[in-house]
Structure 1
Amino acid sequence: MSQPNPNERIQVDTSDEDSVCDADSIADSTLSINSSVRDYYYENGRRYHAYRQGLYPLPNDEEEQDRLAFIHHLFRLLIGGDLYRAPITRDRRPERILDIGTGTGVWALEMAEYFPDAEIVGTDLSPIQPNFAPPNCRFFVDDAESDWAFTQDEAFDYIHVRALCGGIADWKRFLQQAYSHLKPGGWVEVQEYDAWVWSDDGTHEQAVKLQEWQKLLDSSSLMFGRRMNIAPALAGWMRESGYANVTDDIYKCPVGSWPKNPRLKEIGRVGKVTLYDAIEPYTLALWTRVLGYSSQEAQEWVDQVRAELLNTSLHTHVMFHYVYAQRPVDR
C-alpha cells in the first residue's frame, strides 16, 4: 500500500455518469446485518440506545447498522483492504486487543480471525453485536467515557477506535485512559473522518445547502458537548497525552464515481453511499435536541441536503485520518 498523499488532485472522469445517482439506487445499495438488540428507545422515527440514554446522538437500528457496514467497507477500501495502519506486529504479535465503540462488532470479529491466538474485546453502548462469536472474541456493554474497569494485568497490546466523532466529550481524557491501559510499547489507533466536505476544483461551493448543513452540524455538536469534526486534532491530542511515534495517515475519499482512477472511482461510489446515509442520523437528534427544530423540519433538512448531494457535477471528497501512536516502552 503506497503512502497517502492528501494533497494530490484527483482527475475527474467527465465521461462517466455516477452509478449511485438517485435515492432508490442508494437505498438498494445497503447491506443487511443480523443483530441482537435489547435496550432501545425511539425518537424522530429512529431507534437509539437506552444505556446512558441521550449521550450519543446516533441511532442503533437496522438502518444504522447497514450504514456501519458500508463505513467498515470504506475504511478498508481506503487502505487496500487492511483493518489497521499501526505496526502492531513489528515487535511481537498482539495478545490482547480492545475495540472501543465496536458497533456491530464486525471489525473485532475480523481481527479475531486474523489473530486467532489473541484475545479480542469489543465494547459499546449498544448490545447490537452477534450472539455468536469465535472463542477469542468477547463483547461488553460499556461506556468508554466512564472509568475503564480493566486491571493493570489486563493491559492491551493494541486499542482500536473508529468513527466515534460526536460520541466523546473529552478526547484528551479518553486518550489518556487508553494510554494507561496499554502495555509499554503498545499501540492505539483512532480512525476518523472529517465532518466536512471539500473539492479540488471548487465545486463543493455549489452545494449551498450542504455547506450550511456542515456548519450547523459543527456548531450543534459543539453545543451538544461532543464535537463531530475532531479528526484533524487527534494527532496533537495524542502528543499532549504522552504518546510517541504519532502518525496521522490522511486519505482523500472521493464522494461519487467522478474520479478517472478505477480504484478511486470504486471508493467514490461507496463514499457517496456512506455520506448519503449519514445525513439523516447525523441530523435528526442534533437538530431536534439542540437546535430546536421539529422532527418534520429536521427531515426536510435531510431531504434537501441529500438532493443536493445527488448532483453529479460535484467533485467532492472527505479526508479520512488513520491516527496511531505508541506508549513508550520505558513508561
Structure 2
Amino acid sequence: MASTTPDYVFTRDYLDNNRMNLQHYQWIALFGYLLHPVIPTDRANLRIADVGTGTAVWLTELASCLPDTVKFEGLDVSMAAAPPAQWLPANVILRHWDIKEPVPSELLGAYDVVHVRNLAFVLRGSEVPAVLERLVSLLRPGGALQWGEPDVSSFRIETVTALRSLLTLSQPQDDRLRPTWVPQLPKLYRAAGLAAVEEDVRDAPSHLALAMHECNLPIHELVARKSKNKAVIEAVQDLMPQVKAETRQGACWAFTRWIVVGWKNSEDK
C-alpha cells in the first residue's frame, strides 16, 4: 500500500503549484505540442493517462483540445496540487496511484496513451526500469508512452559564482536532485520492449532559457524549507540576492530537455 505521507523532494504548496504550472507552459513553448505529433488522437474510445499529474495542467489543457468523448485520467500518489474534482471537465478524473507500487489490476492494458513528465527529481536511477515496466503495463497493445524530462546532468552555467554555489548547496540535500538517467530513456524504452522509439531533444533559445531558469530558482528555496536545516535555509537566503543579480547580468542555469516516445507492440498483452 502506498504511504499516506508520500516522500516528495519539494514542498506541496501554492508556491510549488505555481512553479509547476508556469513550467508546463514554458515546456510547451519549447516543444510546441502537448502530445508528440506521431501519436494519433482519432482512435475510437480514446483513453489517456497522465501519470504524476501534479496540478493536472497538462491533462486539462489537452482535454480542451480534444473531443469530450476522450477519457482523461490523472494518476498521482497525492492530489494535494490538483484542482477539486468538481472543478474538472466532466471527462477528466483523478485517482491515486504510486508509481513505485504495483499497477491496480483494472488499469492493466487500459490506456491508448500514457504521458509522464518531470519525474527526474522523484525517481532514483535504480528505480526507473521497474517504473518503466509498470508504465508499459498500463498501455493497450499499440499504445504509446510519452515521457518528458530535463536532463539535469546537462546543466550549464555561464557565471560560476553565486549561482554555482546555490546549486552546490541544494543538491546534497537529496540524491534525487542529481539525476543522471534521463539520456538513458531511449535505451530503457527498448529494454522494456517498446518499439519505434523516438526522441525529441531540445535546448531552449536564450530568452526562453532565462524564463525557465527563473522559474526553477524557487526550487532551491523549496528544498531549503523542506530540509528544515537552519544553516541551509540561511545560506540560501544569503545567496539568492547574489543569484538574482547574476541572472540580470546573463547567468543562466540551463538544461537540455527530452521527450521520448515509444510504442507497445500490437501483439503484446
Q: Smaller-chain TM-score range?
A: 0.7 to 0.9
For residues 16-27 of structure 1, the aligned pairs below 5 Å read: none
One-letter identity of the residue aligned with 1:189: Q
What 5-or-longer segments of structure 1 have no aligned partner? 1-49, 260-264
1:259-310 CA distances to partner (integer Å, 9 max, x unpaired)?
A: 4xxxxx2x2342132122222224443xx3xxxx823423423541563254
TM-score in terms of structure 1 length: 0.69
Q: Report what 2:190 is aligned to.
A: 239
Taking the aligned partners of 1:175 and 1:328, their CA distance within structure 2 comes to 15
User: What is the letter of the counterpart of residue 232 of structure 2?
Assistant: E
Q: Secondary structure at the match of 2:131?
A: helix
Aligned to 1:161: 116
How many residues were matched structurally?
259
CA distance in 2, matches of 1:141, 1:210: 37
CA distance in 2, matches of 1:100, 1:310: 37
User: Residues 23-51 of structure 1, C-alpha deviation per residue, up to 9 Å, x if partnerless?
Assistant: xxxxxxxxxxxxxxxxxxxxxxxxxxx95
Task: Please tell me whether residue 328 in structure 1 is matched to residue 254 in structure 2.
Answer: no
Find out whether 1:271 has 2:212 as its counterpart: yes
- Alpha-carbon shift at residue 245 of structure 1 (Å): 1.5
Q: Does the 8 Å CA contact 2:162/2:242 hold for their aligned counterparts?
A: no
By how many angstroms is 1:138 displaced?
Answer: 0.1
What secondary structure sits across from 1:57 in the alignment? coil
Q: Which position in structure 2 is the counterpart of 1:77? A: 29
Seen in structure 2, the aligned counterparts of structure 1 residues 316 and 301 have a Cα distance that, compared at 3 Å, is closer
Kept in 2: contact 1:280–1:299 (CA 8 A): no
Residue 251 of structure 2 aligns to a residue whose secondary structure is coil
* Equivalent residue for 1:195, pick from 144, 149, 152: 152
Tell me what 1:210 maps to: 163
| Residue correspondence of structure 1 range 100-179 to structure 2 within 5 A | 100-115=51-66, 116-127=68-79, 128-131=81-84, 132-151=87-106, 155-169=110-124, 170-179=127-136
Task: Report how far residue 54 of structure 1 moved.
Answer: 5.1
Q: Name the counterpart of 1:183.
A: 140
Aligned-pair CA distance for 1:213: 4.5
Return the alpha-carbon distance in structure 1 between the equivalents of residues 103 and 178 of structure 2: 22
SS at match of 2:200: strand
TM-score (norm 2): 0.83
1:240-270 Cα shifts (integer Å, max 9, x gaps): 111112222111125xxxx4xxxxx2x2342
Aligned twin of 1:41: none
**Percent of pairs with identical residues:** 22
Q: CA deviation at 1:108?
A: 1.0
Flag the 1:189–1:216 CA change in 2: closer, same or farther, 3 A. farther
- Aligned CA distance change for structure 1 residues 165 and 101 (closer, same or farther; 3 Å): same
CA distance in 1, matches of 2:153, 2:38: 28
Q: Which runs of 5+ in 2 are unaligned?
A: none
Is the Cα contact below 8 Å between 1:86 and 1:324 reproduced in 2? no
Which whole-Å CA distance do the structure 2 matches of 1:94 and 1:321 have between them? 29
Separation of aligned partners in 2, 1:94 and 1:303: 54
After superposition, the C-alpha distances for 1:111-150 in whole angstroms (9 at most, x for unaligned) are 2222222111102222232222112110123212111114
Equivalence map 1:209-228=2 (5 Å): 209-214=162-167, 220-222=173-175, 228=179
1:93 offset after TM fit, Å? 6.1
| Distance of 2:155 and 2:9 partners within structure 1 | 24
